[in-house]
């Protein structure tokens, strides 16, 4: 078991007073058999009324409602997590020579939202087409998807991109580069093209290699296999997910799971500055 400490601070600074509309915060990790929340803190200035709920995807959501004008919004989330998942998952050892049953009943209705793809095989470079064909046809889809994940890392260069939103898959392919969320969205579209349900996951990564100087959140993919549930694949690092990955929120589309979202009312031409700082550290416990 290891302890993971997360500090995630988001600060909006306005050049004149604004009225904040309710904000939606997805900052509490998904806890369960592999990860437990030992301590969590959420400090917000100005102080809001805070309401917790679970959304349609079972994510923990905090709704912050403000009642006073302000020139700054500061959101500080602190977490201490108990991580029980072992790193280095070997899919070949998990299910050697197993033919995965593709019959998803009675889950079919629930999983339908995770299966829509808009990417055609003709849009892909040959290096990815071959990997996708193996993943679609293979009786060992776990291993084929692991290889496809590595193919994306080899073909698409990781690039820190602080602008909001997610590139379309065609944009990512044309540029040959993308952020972690862009690579995740590309893998989702590819996997769904094989008929497998896939969802977008937002969270944290215990690695400083794939983030700007002030740190950042991370994104990857989970693919659903009958009888074995959701298994994570991270095209940014080119392998299945492991103990370095801390999932916070998941949805069919990345637009549903930004860590902080909301709006404000202001005078015309109000300027806003955004600062995001993330620190993730691990501590081994005997």
Task: Give per-residue pLDDT as tens, 223-241.
Answer: 998 777 899 999 999 999 9
77/100 same-domain check: no
For 130-180, what is each residue's pLDDT tens digit?
667 776 766 677 888 888 899 999 999 999 887 888 999 889 998 999 999
CATH number of the domain at 19, please.
2.60.40.2250
User: Could you tell me if 29 and 116 lie in one domain?
Assistant: no
Q: Do 31 and 172 belong to one domain?
A: no
User: What does the longest C-alpha to C-alpha distance in the chain come to?
Assistant: 64
How do residues 69-116 score in pLDDT, each as one tens digit?
A: 999 999 999 999 998 876 555 555 555 445 455 555 667 778 888 888
- 250 lies in a domain? no
- Shared-domain flag, residues 98 and 119: yes
> Are residue 207 and residue 280 in the same domain, yes or no?
no
Do both 79 and 95 map to the same domain?
no
> pLDDT over 90 for what percent of the chain?
58
253 in any annotated domain = no
Any domain includes 38: yes
CA 188 to chain centre: 12
How many domains is the chain built from? Answer: 2
pLDDT score of 91: 52
For residues 99 and 231, state if they share a domain.
yes
- pLDDT of 95: 53
Tokens of 23: 């904000």
- Would you state the structure tokens that stand for residue 8, as one six-digit string? 């995630």
Residue 187 sits in a domain whose CATH number is 3.10.620.30
Domain with 204, as residue range(s), is: 91-242
Nearest to 189 by CA among 107, 254, 103, 100: 254
Q: In whole angstroms, what is the distance from residue 4 CA to residue 14 CA?
A: 33
């Amino acid at each position: 078991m290891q302890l993971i400490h997360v500090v995630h601070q988001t600060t909006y600074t306005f050049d004149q007073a604004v009225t904040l509309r309710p904000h939606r915060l997805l900052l509490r990790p998904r806890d369960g058999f592999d990860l437990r929340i030992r301590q969590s803190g959420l400090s917000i200035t100005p102080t809001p009324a805070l309401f917790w709920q679970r959304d349609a995807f079972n994510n923990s959501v905090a709704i912050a409602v403000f009642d006073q004008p302000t020139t700054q919004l500061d959101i500080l989330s602190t977490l201490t997590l108990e991580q029980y998942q072992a790193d280095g998952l070997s899919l070949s050892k998990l299910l050697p020579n197993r033919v995965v049953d593709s019959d998803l009943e009675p889950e079919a209705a629930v999983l339908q939202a995770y299966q829509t793809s808009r990417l055609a095989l003709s849009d892909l470079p040959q290096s990815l087409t071959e990997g996708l064909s193996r993943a679609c046809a293979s009786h060992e889809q776990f291993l084929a998807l692991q290889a496809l994940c590595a193919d994306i890392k080899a073909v698409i260069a990781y690039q820190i991109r602080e602008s909001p939103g997610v590139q379309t898959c065609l944009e990512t392919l044309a540029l040959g580069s993308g952020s972690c969320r862009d690579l995740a969205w590309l893998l989702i579209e590819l996997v769904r093209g094989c008929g497998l349900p896939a969802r977008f996951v937002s969270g944290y990564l215990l690695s400083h290699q794939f983030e700007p100087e002030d740190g950042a959140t991370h994104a990857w993919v989970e693919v659903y296999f009958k009888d074995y549930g959701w298994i994570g694949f991270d095209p940014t690092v080119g392998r299945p997910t492991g103990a370095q990955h801390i999932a916070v929120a998941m949805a069919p589309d990345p637009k549903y799971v930004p860590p902080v979202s909301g709006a404000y009312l202001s005078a015309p031409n109000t300027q806003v500055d955004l600062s995001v700082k993330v620190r993730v550290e691990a501590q081994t416990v005997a």
